[in-house]
């Protein structure tokens, strides 16, 4: 349920069932449908939540996705995975205070993972905040807004057609893994999967709207299980692969423990499934992995990578996540992580310094790696990975790639992504946005490929 703002004395909001309304909103008669500015930070789940919220706002007759200066309501979709994500949210909130005070009737809402973590405590901490709601259950919040603004609403509005080519589709929520450093299971809850049919219908709807590339999302997407049929991720991929008009299919995030050979076989066999695997390793030392409660050994991880690389041809692009400076990380444990990165040669590594998260199993442990040392380790591995990525990308020179062209730079050069999820640039005028173009790589850096077109692929 939303909690209403103090800053609105003199107006009479609806009473919330069973709970006194401690704050009341200003509800001016706008004479038009309220407009909503959405802002988000964090992982792809929040991208997907933003899109769903925009649809829910449109359903109650609000106009979503307007620029801040035109908005009546600003909604922050937040992340709490590390302290610096929270700091960015507080920074954004501070920017909104003068915006809100500029015109009576403006309001600010916070949702997403920080809203679950702090709940109504945020209203005490942030006097200018009007609403806190759980993004997983926005109905109460939407109903409240609808009732408050009923006089200005004309029923559902139609969202303008989008020209995007790629979209995220959540197939499950929550995580049961309970890695000792991670707050996600606390703020996203236990795993729940959507039925295959529902996912298919969602993908079909997106493809009918022009989307060509879909990424299926779950915090631990390998443990996907259809609630009635028990179908697992490989079967889900097989089903979604049949959607006519879909060109590319990806999935995120895989947990190494649950990445099984059938998954790699499906990746190889299915035409739409891209040659890309994100398999977070977190650390390259067994004792450190145990302290993180990752439930696999470095050798088991190596074996998964070997199996995936053997199965997915011609070339699998691999990405991973690594945390440096976790509680008690010794020099030799850190060196083992570097060694594993050099050995496995990931295409991309998302590196993060350990950040204590309240309520997690690791929170009471000593956060004993000084900040300066965490930064040193982080920067060292960033340098190591830059060289690896650069060499990996250079090895594409002379090879054929397929680019889904997403847009054009100011100097008219088309850019897009390859099936391996690498950014690729083409010469000016070489291809139209929305096309699938075959090209040959002529040069590469650690972050992108440059290619010459060979002809349209679709």
Which residues would be at the binding site for ligand SF4 (CB under 6 A)? 175, 177-179, 182, 184-185, 219-220, 255
Q: Which stretch binds ligand SAM (CB under 6 A): 13-21, 129-137, 192-200, 352-360?
A: 352-360
State which of residues 352, 397, 423, 457 lies at the interface with ligand SAM (CB under 6 A): 352
User: Strand 348-353 and strand 107-112: pairing?
Assistant: unpaired
Q: Where in 91-130 is the site for ligand F3S (CB under 6 A)?
A: 113
Instruction: Compare residues 128 and 191 and give the one whose CB is closer to ligand SAM.
Output: 191
Site string for ligand SAM, 65-104 (x = CB under 6 A): ----------------xx----------------------
Q: Where in 265-294 is the site for ligand SAM (CB under 6 A)?
A: 280, 282
136's CB contacts (< 8 A; 6+ apart) are 173, 188, 189
Integer Cα distance of 289 and 333 in angstroms: 10
Task: Answer yes or no: are the C-beta atoms of 389 and 447 closer than 8 Å.
Answer: yes
User: Strand 213-217 and strand 192-193: pairing?
Assistant: unpaired
* DSSP string covering 212-249: -EEEEE-TTGGG-B-TTT--BHHHHHHHHHTSTT--EE
Binds 354: which of ligand SF4, ligand SAM, ligand F3S, none (CB < 5-8 Å by kind): ligand SAM
In sequence order, what E strands does 4-72 have?
36-40
State which of residues 63, 135, 182, 267 lies at the interface with ligand SAM (CB under 6 A): 182
- The nearest distance, CB 378 to ligand SAM, in angstroms, is 10
Dihedral of alpha carbons 412, 413, 414, 415, sign:
negative
Task: Answer yes or no: are the C-beta atoms of 431 and 405 closer than 8 Å.
Answer: yes
- Tell me if 35 contacts ligand SAM by CB under 6 A: no
* DSSP string covering 304-368: HHHHHHHHS-S--EEEEEEEES-TT--HHHHHHHHHHHHHHT-SEEEEEE----TTSTTTTS---
Task: Answer yes or no: are the C-beta atoms of 362 and 181 closer than 8 Å.
Answer: yes
Q: Which stretch binds ligand F3S (CB under 6 A): 75-83, 102-110, 190-198, 220-228?
A: 75-83
Tokens of 201: 């219908």
Binds 178: which of ligand SAM, ligand F3S, ligand SF4, none (CB < 5-8 Å by kind): ligand SF4
State which of residues 111, 319, 355, 418 lies at the interface with ligand SAM (CB under 6 A): 355
Q: Which stretch binds ligand F3S (CB under 6 A): 73-81, 205-213, 239-247, 326-334?
A: 73-81
- Give the number of other Cβ atoms within 10 Å of residue 295's Cβ: 15
Instruction: Compare residues 83 and 178 and give the one whose CB is closer to ligand SF4.
Output: 178
Binds 7: which of ligand SF4, ligand SAM, ligand F3S, none (CB < 5-8 Å by kind): none
- Tell me if 278 contacts ligand F3S by CB under 6 A: no
Q: Where in 372-401 is the site for ligand F3S (CB under 6 A)?
A: none
Integer Cα distance of 369 and 375 in angstroms: 10
Binds 82: which of ligand SF4, ligand SAM, ligand F3S, none (CB < 5-8 Å by kind): ligand SAM
Using only C-alpha atoms, what is the Rg of the chain?
24
Instruction: Compare residues 306 and 350 and give the one whose CB is closer to ligand SF4.
Output: 350
State which of residues 194, 248, 255, 419 lies at the interface with ligand SAM (CB under 6 A): 255
Tokens of 121: 């405590």
287's CB contacts (< 8 A; 6+ apart) are 333
Instruction: Compare residues 123 and 252 and give the one whose CB is closer to ligand SAM.
Output: 252
Integer Cα distance of 150 and 148 in angstroms: 6
State which of residues 80, 193, 220, 223 lies at the interface with ligand SAM (CB under 6 A): 220
Integer Cα distance of 338 and 341 in angstroms: 5
Integer Cα distance of 58 and 87 in angstroms: 30
- The nearest distance, CB 168 to ligand SAM, in angstroms, is 14
- Tell me if 337 contacts ligand SAM by CB under 6 A: no
Q: Where in 157-186 is the site for ligand F3S (CB under 6 A)?
A: 184
Q: Contact residues for ligand SAM (CB under 6 A)?
A: 43, 81-82, 181-182, 184, 219-220, 253, 255, 280, 282, 321, 323, 352, 354-355, 357
Q: Contact residues for ligand F3S (CB under 6 A)?
A: 42-43, 45-46, 79-81, 113, 184, 187-188
């Amino acid at each position: 349920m939303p909690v209403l703002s103090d800053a609105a004395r003199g107006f009479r909001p609806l009473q919330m069932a069973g709970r006194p309304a401690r704050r009341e909103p200003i509800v001016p008669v706008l004479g038009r449908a309220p407009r909503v500015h959405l802002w988000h930070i964090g992982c792809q789940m929040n991208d997907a939540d933003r899109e769903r919220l925009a649809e829910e706002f449109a359903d109650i007759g609000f106009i979503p996705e307007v620029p801040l200066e035109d908005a009546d309501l600003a909604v922050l979709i937040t992340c709490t995975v590390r302290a610096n994500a929270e700091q960015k949210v507080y920074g954004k909130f501070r920017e909104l205070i003068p915006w809100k005070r500029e015109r009576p009737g403006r309001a600010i809402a916070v949702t997403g993972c920080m809203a679950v973590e702090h709940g109504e405590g945020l209203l005490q901490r942030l006097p200018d905040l009007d609403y806190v709601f759980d993004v997983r259950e926005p109905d109460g919040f939407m109903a409240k807004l609808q009732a408050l603004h009923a006089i200005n609403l004309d029923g559902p509005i139609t969202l303008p057609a989008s020209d995007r080519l790629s979209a995220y589709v959540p197939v499950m929520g929550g995580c049961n893994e309970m890695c000792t450093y991670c707050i996600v299971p606390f703020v996203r809850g236990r795993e729940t999967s959507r039925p295959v049919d529902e996912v298919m219908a969602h993908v079909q709807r997106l493809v009918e709207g022009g989307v060509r590339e879909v990424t299926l999302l779950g915090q631990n997407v390998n443990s996907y299980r259809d609630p009635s049929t028990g179908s697992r991720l490989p079967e889900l991929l097989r089903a979604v692969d049949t959607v006519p008009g879909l060109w590319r299919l990806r999935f995120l995030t895989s947990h190494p423990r649950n990445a099984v050979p059938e998954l790699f076989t499906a990746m190889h066999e299915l035409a739409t499934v891209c040659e890309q695997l994100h398999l977070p390793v977190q650390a390259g030392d067994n004792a450190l992995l145990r302290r993180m409660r990752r439930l696999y050994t470095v050798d088991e991880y190596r074996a998964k990578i070997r199996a995936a690389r053997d199965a997915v041809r011609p070339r699998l692009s691999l990405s991973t996540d690594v945390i440096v400076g976790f509680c008690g990380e010794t020099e030799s444990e850190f060196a083992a992580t570097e060694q594993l990165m050099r050995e496995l040669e990931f295409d991309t590594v998302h590196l993060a310094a350990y950040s204590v998260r309240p309520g997690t199993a690791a929170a009471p442990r000593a956060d004993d790696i000084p900040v300066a040392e965490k930064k040193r380790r982080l920067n060292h591995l960033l340098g190591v990975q830059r060289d690896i990525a650069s060499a990996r990308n250079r090895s594409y020179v002379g090879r054929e790639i397929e680019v889904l062209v997403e847009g054009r730079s100011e100097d008219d050069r088309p850019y897009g992504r390859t099936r391996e999820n690498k950014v690729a640039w083409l010469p000016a005028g070489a291809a139209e946005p929305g096309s699938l173009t075959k090209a040959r790589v002529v040069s590469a850096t650690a972050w992108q490929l440059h290619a010459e077109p060979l002809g349209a692929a679709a």
